[in-house]
Homo-oligomer: A and B are copies of this chain.
Amino acid sequence: MSKGTVVLAYSGGLDTSCILVWLKEQGYDVIAYLANIGQDEDFEAARKKAESLGAKKIFIEDLRKEFVEDFIWPSVQANAVYEDRYLMGTAIARPCIARRQVEIARKEGAQFVSHGATGKGNDQIRFELTCYALYPEVKVSLFHYCFFFFPQSQAPPDLYLMTKNPADSPNEPDVLEMEFRNGVPIKVTNETNGISKNAPLEIFSYLNEIGGKHGVGRIDIVENRFIGMKSRGIYETPGGTILLKAHLDIETFTMDKEVRRIKQGLGIKFSELVYNGFWYSPECDFVRHCIAKSQENVEGKVQLSVFKGQVYILGRESPKSLYNEELVSMDVQGDYDPCDASGFIRINAVRLREHHRLQGFSGKKQ
Residue numbers in B under 8 Å from A229 (CB-CB): 324, 327-328, 350-351, 354
Listed residue (A125, A229, A277, A339) with the most chain B CB atoms within 10 angstroms of its CB: A229
Say yes or no: A351-B79 contact (C-beta < 8 A), given A129-B345, A314-B220: no
Residue numbers in B under 8 Å from A120 (CB-CB): 328, 330, 336, 338, 341
Residue numbers in B under 8 Å from A69 (CB-CB): none
Q: Pick out which of these stretches binds chain B: A55-63, A156-164, A246-254.
A: A246-254
A223 within 8 A of B: yes
A248 and B147: CB pair below 8 A? Answer: no
CA distance A297 to B361 in the complex (A): 12
CA distance A224 to B340 in the complex (A): 18
Contact with B along A280-319 (1 / 0, CB 8 A): 1111001101100110010000000001111011111001
A84 within 8 A of B: yes
Q: How far is the CB of A95 from chain B (nearest CB, A)?
A: 12
Contact of A324 among B269, B281, B286, B354 (CB under 8 A): B354
CB contact list, A340-366 vs B, under 8 A: 340-358, 361-362, 366
CB contact list, A233-265 vs B, under 8 A: 248-249, 252-253, 256-265
Residue numbers in B under 8 Å from A171 (CB-CB): 167
A228 and B249: CB pair below 8 A? Answer: no
Q: How far is the CB of A259 from chain B (nearest CB, A)?
A: 5
